[in-house]
Structure 1
């Protein structure tokens, strides 16, 4: 079986041949460190290309655009009640030209010249008036409101202009009766005719007469 003194020596040799635990641990840590350094180097090498790749990716990536808000539109102002709204200010209606007033025909507006009345007979005398309701010599009932007169000789229906010499007033009467028969008087006027010449206050007035027509 050998020498018993040889056993310790053999055991010592075996222990010397086996790796020590501390050395194994160092080797493990060394391998891990080498791996970490390799990974870091790879990251550094690839890190230089990362910004360029990022910029290229940013350029190629679709950019999100924010919608632009429409500018605020002015609110349409309501037409005031005093001024009506013009539907189309570009096409305003032109004011219709005012028509010039045509000169009126002068012949129509001019007063026609009165024909001079032909005086058949004239004279001067005194005139009186009467207002009694009696039948006239012409057969007409006497009307104090009518412009009539009585004469001694003029035909019935004759027209006579009677002029009051005191004031110049005149009236045209129609002869429908006979008289007067008082001295100095040649005409007897109706009440209405005497009022026209303003002689009712005195009763008898000086007159001038003109025979315009004979009936």
Structure 2
């Protein structure tokens, strides 16, 4: 009998092991319930958040919308009040916006949707600006050469450095900044 009592744990050790197993079992149940509740809450919150369709990719001065939008959802944008007013008055009437650095879109973005939903065409006289209303017409004047072009805002950007406007390749060609890549320009909003 003495040999048997030496091989079996004491009653106190058995009770401790039993309590420890019970606590581990309860802790495991609590963790499982918390995990299930977390997954349910995450699924519910993801189901309620609408899919963000517009995005702006930062870092390379590229602005656009999600390419996964079906073509049927892209509507022809209504002309803004500024663009409508611009067509009614002479192009000579303008409001000075300031000066800054201009750049132009690279050829790799041809056909991508712009922020207002149209497809980017580098030959058009369009540009991207961070805040001006879509459809605004802006006179862009190279301060070095004095050459100027009138562009229509149809995209958002630029998001690189201190640049104030991103021109289409056609506008940059007429302005004469293709070789330089960027230029110091003066912006005037046509009203």
| Higher share in strand | 2
Normalised to the residue count of structure 2, the TM-score between the two structures is 0.50
| Higher share in helix | 2
Higher Rg of the two aligned structures: 1
Normalised to the residue count of structure 1, the TM-score between the two structures is 0.45
Structure with more relative contact order (C-alpha pairs < 8 Å, separation 6 or more)? 2
